[in-house]
Amino acid sequence: MSLVRKAVTTLLACIGLCAIALAQSATLQAQEVKFTGHDVSLAGTLLAPKLDAGKRAPAILLVGDSTAQRDGFTFGQVKQNIYRELAEKFVAQGFIVLRYDKRCTGASECKPAASFDDYIDDARGGVEFLKKHPQIDAARLFLFGHGEGGYVVASIGAFDDVKFAGVVLAAAPGRTLNKVMRDEFRVRLTEAGKSDKDIATYLEKCDRVTRGLMGGRTNFPEEKLDPKDPYDAALLALTQRHEAVVALLINDPLQIVNNIKAPVLIVQGRKDLQITVRDAEYLEEALKRANHASHSLQLFDDMDHLLKTNKGKASLGSYTDTARPLDPAMLSAVMTWMQKQNM
């Protein structure tokens, strides 16, 4: 009898999940789209609420972090589809959202970036796509940048040719890449149980490579970087993207942020081990010094770099836990702020 009850319970649960999925499909409309970036074809997903004929909605261009695709991140065999989840949350509040695969990822065309400006121009292609869409109110266009994507949307927000309704900088760096990477390496090596001496030695190697890249070098045979070593692999990835990376190593993101014209919301988790509260505070201070008309910073005690809730100890190992939800306090704050700018 218990087996029968269990089977019935399982069936009812499946029916409930199917009903939820059907309800979402009736209210959310996903469309695979392509748009032109800087001399490259980019693929993305446009997610929209069901709109009455002739009605226009506000829109969000979602720009992800450096190693992400349009849906999120992959850690080994684990996928954290945080951008897809974010898009669904925003669409449920009446926004249309475009997220996309960066060049050389996913379904987008692969033409290596000649400089970081190519990534900025690629995102501007997404802006142009949204501005021309018949269901979108171009006067209510938002930018949402996560991690490195924050650097991208800050750069776009500093241009004069488009008036944006608002710019959200989520876990965005407030320091140059070499400083951010150095701190992240320290965390990763400490979690791996390395000694203080080993950590100091590796950070010296990191400094040599980043200084060399800033000086124009692209190859470091003397460092004997091992692609099978996770730390060396990260440094090798820098050398392989050196054309684009140099700007992140040299250009101060604060000099870009303080030129944003639109209202700015900075959101940062206290349990983020990649971008720190200090970064967010630097961004806020830069906006204050520039006498920016409308900006705010909101910190969230249990949010990590994936914008997810972490009730335990902050750890990079938690990135493989897909059961953790997007931080509800962050979602509420962002949606409230955007609705306010949308009025």
Residue 101 shares a structural domain with residue 57: yes
CATH code of residue 52: 3.40.50.1820
Residue 185 shares a structural domain with residue 89: no
Residue 150 shares a structural domain with residue 267: yes
Can you give 158-208 as a three-state secondary structure string?
Answer: CCCCCCCCEEEEECCCCCCHHHHHHHHHHHHHHHCCCCHHHHHHHHHHHHH
Confidence at residue 10, expressed as pLDDT on a 0 to 100 scale:
43
Q: How far is CA 314 from CA 132, 198, 269, 329, in A?
A: 42, 22, 10, 18
Residue 190 shares a structural domain with residue 296: no
Residue 88 shares a structural domain with residue 40: yes
Domain endpoint, select from 246, 263, 290 = 246
Residue 210 shares a structural domain with residue 78: no
Q: Is residue 19 part of a domain?
A: no
Per-residue pLDDT of the chain (343 residues; tens, 9 = 90+): 454 554 444 444 444 444 444 444 457 899 999 999 999 999 999 999 998 888 999 999 999 998 899 999 998 889 999 999 999 999 999 999 999 999 999 999 999 999 999 999 999 999 999 999 999 999 999 999 999 999 999 999 988 778 999 999 999 999 999 999 999 999 999 999 999 999 999 999 999 999 999 999 999 999 999 999 989 999 999 999 888 899 999 999 999 999 999 999 999 999 999 999 999 999 999 999 999 999 999 999 999 999 999 999 988 888 899 999 999 999 999 999 999 997 6
Q: How far is CA 282 from CA 166, 252, 314, in A?
A: 19, 11, 22
DSSP-based three-state secondary structure for 52: coil
The answer to whether 105 touches 99, Cβ cutoff 8 Å, is no
> Using CA atoms, how far apart are residues 208 and 85, in angstroms rounded to an integer?
39
Domain region containing 188: 178-246
The answer to whether 256 touches 159, Cβ cutoff 8 Å, is no
| 106 φψ region: left (φ > 0), alpha (ψ -120 to 50), beta (else) | left
Residue 92 shares a structural domain with residue 223: no
List of residues 6+ apart from 16 with CB closer than 8 A? none
> Using CA atoms, how far apart are residues 222 and 205, in angstroms rounded to an integer?
10
> What is the CA angle 36-262-144, rounded to 5?
50
Domain endpoint, select from 210, 230, 246 = 246
> Using CA atoms, how far apart are residues 73 and 268, in angstroms rounded to an integer?
19
Give all strands of the β-sheet with 96-100 in edge-to-edge order: 28-36, 41-49, 96-100, 57-63, 136-146, 166-170, 264-269, 295-300
Residue 193 shares a structural domain with residue 71: no
H or E, element range at 213: helix 196-214
φ, ψ for residue 226, nearest 5 deg: -100, 115
Confidence at residue 21, expressed as pLDDT on a 0 to 100 scale:
42
Q: Is residue 264 part of a domain?
A: yes
DSSP-based three-state secondary structure for 140: strand
Residue 337 shares a structural domain with residue 201: no
Residue 48 shares a structural domain with residue 120: yes
pTM metric for this prediction: 0.90
Q: Is residue 24 part of a domain?
A: no
Confidence at residue 26, expressed as pLDDT on a 0 to 100 scale:
54
Domain endpoint, select from 187, 212, 246 = 246
Q: Is residue 93 part of a domain?
A: yes
| Structure tokens, 246 | 């140099």
Q: Is residue 202 part of a domain?
A: yes
Q: Is residue 309 part of a domain?
A: yes
Residue 185 shares a structural domain with residue 171: no
Number of domains in the chain: 2
